[in-house]
Structure 1
Amino acid sequence: MAASLEAESTLTDRYQTTVPETVRRALKLGRRDKIHYTIRPGGEVVLTRADIPDDDPVLGQFLGFLAADLTRHPERLKSVDAGLVQRLQSLVGGVDVDLDTPLSADDE
């Protein structure tokens, strides 16, 4: 079992605190990252790194709009035609894409 790490910080008059370096390292936190607090019934608080939000707030709003629309109007949902799937596969079949390769300056 891994050894436990402990750290303390102090609240300012405005109820702010600095996250100790050991906690930042353990959670791999950087500037502007968000922290998630889980408060358990016995008063124990678990601090974790919050999920990283979408980089594009407009895309996030659009996806939220789509999700809400699908919830309100499920009858509008249609399956993709098998012919379209075959056509798409013929256009991109055999194309290898490495999602970890950095974009060129022209593609940024």
Structure 2
Amino acid sequence: MANIALETESTLTERFQTTVPSSVRRALHLGKKDKIRYVIQADGNVLMTKVEKTEDDPVMNKFLSFLANDMQQHPENLQQLTTSMRNTVQSLIENVELDLDAPLSDEDE
């Protein structure tokens, strides 16, 4: 059996609802409106984790949907990346430095 740091329980209501105990909320860093994922393992145990939020960009989602739809409807317009195109892109980014771990400035947020 796994090491148990804390054991707690809650009760199901008539409508199969329960309150997540405060110790579990703290351990998972849960807040109001957060989502919880349940993984039922083969041995019957259930693993409960916090669903990490991903911020959808509605404009990007619509653009990607547009591209996917256009590629399906007009596959004849798709073309391979040529050496010339690759060289052009390479020349545009060759002196660009990027630190993916750097925090965003307030204007980038």
TM range, smaller chain: 0.5 to 0.7
| Matches of 2:96 and 2:31, distance apart in 1 | 36
Q: Is the 8 A contact 1:54 1:60 kept in 2?
A: no
Q: C-alpha displacement at 1:23, in angstroms? A: 2.8
| Matches of 1:8 and 1:41, distance apart in 2 | 22
| Matches of 2:63 and 2:40, distance apart in 1 | 32
1:86-97 equivalences under 5 Å are 86-97=87-98
| Matches of 1:74 and 1:7, distance apart in 2 | 57
| Matches of 2:62 and 2:35, distance apart in 1 | 19
1:21-36 equivalences under 5 Å are 21-36=22-37
Aligned alpha-carbon RMSD (Å):
3.5
Structure 1: gaps spanning 5 or more residues: none
Q: For residue 12 of structure 2, what is the aligned residue in structure 1? A: 11
Which stretch shifts more, 79-88 or 30-39?
30-39
| Matches of 1:58 and 1:100, distance apart in 2 | 24
Q: C-alpha displacement at 1:97, in angstroms? A: 0.9
| Matches of 1:37 and 1:61, distance apart in 2 | 30
Q: Give 1:3's aligned amino acid.
A: N
Q: For residue 101 of structure 2, what is the aligned residue in structure 1? A: 100
Q: Give 1:34's aligned amino acid.
A: K
Q: Give 1:18's aligned amino acid.
A: T
Percent of aligned pairs with the same amino acid: 50
Q: Give 1:17's aligned amino acid.
A: T
3-state SS of paired residue (2:38): strand
Between the two proteins, the alignment pairs up a number of residues equal to: 107
Q: For residue 55 of structure 2, what is the aligned residue in structure 1? A: 54
